[in-house]
Amino acid sequence: MCSACLKEKNRLAYAKHRAKRLDSAKANYAVNKEHKKEYQKKYYRDTLEYQKEWHKSNKARKRYKYNAYEAKRRARKLCATPSWLSKEQLIAIDNIYWLAKDVSTITGETYQVDHIVPLQGIDVCGLHVPWNLQLLPAKENAAKKNNKLDTDTNNEYNYFSAKRNKAES
C-alpha cells in the first residue's frame, strides 16, 4: 500500500471511531481525575526548584529575546506617538506614568499604564496619546492582553475622551 493510501485509510479509520475514542478518554479521565491532579501537583512541586535554577542559569541566554521585544515596543510606541501632540499633551503622558509609579508605591500593588486601544491590535492600532492611556493593576493589564476594553464601562476612557473633546472644541 502506498503512503498516500495509508494516510487516507488512517484518516477514515480515525473519523469512523472518533466518538468512541472521545467517550473512552472522557471515561478514563473521570475514573483517574484525582490521580491525575495529584500527579500534576507532585510534578509541579518536584520540578519547581529545577525550573527556578534553570531560569537563573539561562537568564543571559534569554536576555536577547527580552531586549529585542523591548526595542520593538519602544520603536512601535515612537511610531504611535503623533507629531501633532502639543507640549501639554506630552507632559500629560509623562504624568500618567508618574501617577502609575506613585499609585504603586502608595498601594503596594503594581499598577501599569495601559493603552485602551492597543498599539498593536488585531483589528485596529491605537495611538500613544493621553486619552488612550489608563491605569490598571498589573494583574488586570496582563489579563487584558492585547484586547480593547469595553469603553462603556471604562471610566478612564470616558474621562480622557471628554478632555480630548473639550480640547478640540
| Predicted pLDDT of residue 162 | 44
| Predicted pLDDT of residue 158 | 45
| Predicted pLDDT of residue 167 | 52
Instruction: Please give the span between the terminal C-alpha atoms of the chain, in angstroms, as a whole number.
Output: 77
18, amino acid identity = R
Q: What is the DSSP string of 51-92?
A: HHHHHHHTHHHHHHHHHHHHHHHHHHHHHHS-TT--HHHHHH
The pTM assigned to this predicted structure is 0.48
| Predicted pLDDT of residue 99 | 92
> Which of 133, 127, 126 lies closest to 159 in space, CA to CA?
133
Q: What single DSSP character describes residue 124?
A: -
Give how far Cα 163 sits from Cα of 119, 126, 146, 151, 156, Å.
Answer: 21, 17, 24, 15, 11
| Predicted pLDDT of residue 16 | 86
Q: What is the pLDDT along the chain (169 residues), one digit of tens a residue?
A: 888 898 888 888 888 888 888 999 999 989 999 999 999 999 999 999 888 888 888 877 777 777 777 877 887 787 888 889 899 998 999 899 899 989 999 999 999 989 888 887 777 888 889 999 999 998 988 888 777 655 444 444 444 444 445 455 5
Residue 31 backbone phi and psi in degrees, to 5: -70, -40
